[in-house]
């Protein structure tokens, strides 16, 4: 059973299931899929603002400027669903958003001024004492529009790169026109949204359930296998570590894939152990533990870069895959040193130092 609540008393966010194609037909509506931190926003009778992550962790201490923007727009009580994003120079900057999760309050305050965030609200779940989750999406959007007018929240522009400067609270745009949704999905302006969310206009809000549809950017890419991590049981491969060569013949770590069955993991480990040797020397290498990876075993084993695989990815950001890649097949026909960044149509990024380039 899905979790219905988070942080004690807040509705768990409604989730989306991944599909390869955008659904069309009567009753479907569409929104941009924001590339940020999913956030449940709650304002109490006393005006106190709470920001909770998808799993109920408090986010307000990391984004004081967002808390201030919500608080200054008016009192509650209400509960809304949205996304905290970082938009700068016409594009979403997820890496900068990650920098905001800093343990030191002085650093948090400094970053709030230097790289402020935006809150994009796309649903209203409670209005005063009224629970809206049983209403249709169309009804909730109407209520959200009226609520936003009262609080002075502007609607995010349909031309997404022209979003106003942060910190600000915006209401997400939506459309029932598939061609308009396709423009957002194609992202020709380069804002960097994560795809499209498709929602039924007559659907209730289902806390913790995957009732929406997400369509994400995917592309096929060849990669070199430069290492692996063990599974939790230590008897198989947990993840393959993937690399691309730059024009100087240096292999750089770009991401990982872990989409294998248990039997495949064990068989793969036996073969990879025969290939253990240097790989990412001189290039960007997989990082070790950091404040972002607490509790995760990031020990890895290098192998000679002789294997090539085809994977699918959503998109590249700052020289690495934004999310885990999906394994497609082995490419025995490709010579490893021919597998380069040029596949992406971009120049290899420049990494200033090891601390800045370690995996997060």
Q: Which residues have a catalytic role annotated?
A: 33
DSSP annotation of 155 reads E
Residue ranges of the alpha helices (H) in 126-275? 137-151, 178-186, 262-272
Distance, in Å, from the CA atom of 239 to the CA atom of 258, rounded to the nearest integer, reads 4
Position of tokens 């997989």? 286
Position of tokens 């290939």? 275
42: tokens are: 């709650």
Tell me if residue 220 falls in helix, strand or coil: strand
Distance, in Å, from the CA atom of 169 to the CA atom of 30, rounded to the nearest integer, reads 20
Please spell the DSSP secondary structure of 76-142, one letter per residue: --EEEEEEEE-EETTEE-HHHHHHT--S-HHHHHHHHHHS--EEEEEEEEEETTEE-TTS-HHHHHH
Distance, in Å, from the CA atom of 189 to the CA atom of 173, rounded to the nearest integer, reads 16
Tell me if residue 229 falls in helix, strand or coil: strand
287: tokens are: 């990082």
Position of tokens 């995996």? 359
Closest by CA to 44, choosing from 4, 9, 6, 1, is 9
Strand 210-215 with 28-32, pairing? unpaired
**Phi, then psi, of 12 in degrees rounded to 5:** -65, 145
Strands laid side by side in the 196-200 sheet: 15-18, 210-215, 196-200, 28-32
Could you tell me which residues are beta bridge partners of residue 321? 316
**Contact present, 47 and 201 (Cβ < 8 Å):** no
- Count of CB atoms within 10 A of residue 53's CB? 17
């Amino acid at each position: 059973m899905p979790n219905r609540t988070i942080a004690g008393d807040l509705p768990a966010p409604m989730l989306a299931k991944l599909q390869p194609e955008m659904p069309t037909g009567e009753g479907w509506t569409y929104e941009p899929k924001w590339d940020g931190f999913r956030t449940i926003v709650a304002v109490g009778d006393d005006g106190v603002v709470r920001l909770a992550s998808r799993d109920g962790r408090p986010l307000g201490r990391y984004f004081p400027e967002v808390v201030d923007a919500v608080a200054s727009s008016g009192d509650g009580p209400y509960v809304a669903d949205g996304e905290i994003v970082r938009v700068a120079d016409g594009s979403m900057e997820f890496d900068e958003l990650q920098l905001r999760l800093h343990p030191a309050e002085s650093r948090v305050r400094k970053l709030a001024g230097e790289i402020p965030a935006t809150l994009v609200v796309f649903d209203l779940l409670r209005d005063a004492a009224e629970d809206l989750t049983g209403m249709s999406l169309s009804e909730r959007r109407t209520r959200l529009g009226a609520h936003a007018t009262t609080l002075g929240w502007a609607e995010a522009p349909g031309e997404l790169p022209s979003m106003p400067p942060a910190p600000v609270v915006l209401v997400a745009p939506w459309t029932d026109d598939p061609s308009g949704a396709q423009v957002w999905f194609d992202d020709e302006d380069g804002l960097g949204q994560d795809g499209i969310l498709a929602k039924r206009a007559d659907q209730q809000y289902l806390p913790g359930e995957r009732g929406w549809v997400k369509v994400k950017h995917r592309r096929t890419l060849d990669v070199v296998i430069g290492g692996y991590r063990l599974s939790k049981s230590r008897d198989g491969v947990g993840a393959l570590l993937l690399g691309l060569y730059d024009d100087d013949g240096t292999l750089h770590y770009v991401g990982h894939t872990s989409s294998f069955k248990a039997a495949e993991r064990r068989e793969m480990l036996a073969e990879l152990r025969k290939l253990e040797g240097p790989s990412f020397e001189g290039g960007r290498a997989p990082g070790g533990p950091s404040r972002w990876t607490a509790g995760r075993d990031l020990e890895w084993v290098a192998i000679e870069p002789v294997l090539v695989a085809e994977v699918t990815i959503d998109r590249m950001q700052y020289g690495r895959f934004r999310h885990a890649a999906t394994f497609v097949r082995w490419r025995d026909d490709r010579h490893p040193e021919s597998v380069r960044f040029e596949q992406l149509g971009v120049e290899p990024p420049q990494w200033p130092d090891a601390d800045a380039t370690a995996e997060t």
